[in-house]
Amino acid sequence: MTNPLALISLKNPWHLLATGFGSGLAPIIPGTMGTLAAIPFYLLIAQLPFNLFVIVVVVSALIGIKICDITSSDMKVHDHGSIVWDEFVGLWITMSIVPFLDLPVTDWKWLLTGFVLFRFFDMVKPWPIGWLDKKVHGGFGIMLDDIVAGFMALISLWLIGQYSGWL
């Protein structure tokens, strides 16, 4: 059987994006590496006015369905660990609450907290994330569980912001 990674080419723009510009090809914890790679892009898009930030995230999620579907099909494996575009979008969703907390988008403690919360929900997969991960397939399924993890992490980050006294 062919190694799925042998079917990936970073010269292919779909594969390049799906692997988070190669970050998902890390030999260990590719999802975490992909989420780390999403941080500089978050810091860049977070400088946009909030409505444009939301548009970028929504478009990234929608095109992510195609990105993940094509790459998954090319690899002949559903949701291979090297596909991390969904982690990019999930982190961006998580961090979208920061402007509502009237915090600088570059505040390291909020970025670290959002990162940890998103990774927690993405790895542990509490209901409904785990159910979606098992039941919904294709590019939509690859994206959907991380989108839901992003929203669960967003809500958790908001609760921390409201009740932690960090503000």
Return the axis-axis angle of helices 85-95 and 108-124, rounded to nearest 10°: 130
Domain boundaries in the chain?
4-164
Q: How far is CA 108 from CA 61, 113, 132, in A?
A: 25, 8, 31
pLDDT digit string (tens) for 38-89?
999 999 999 999 999 999 999 999 999 999 999 999 999 988 999 999 999 9
For 75-113, write each residue's pLDDT tens digit.
Answer: 999 889 999 999 999 999 999 998 777 777 678 899 999
Predicted TM-score (pTM) of the model is 0.94
Lowest-pLDDT range of 6-10, 52-56, 126-130, 140-144 = 6-10
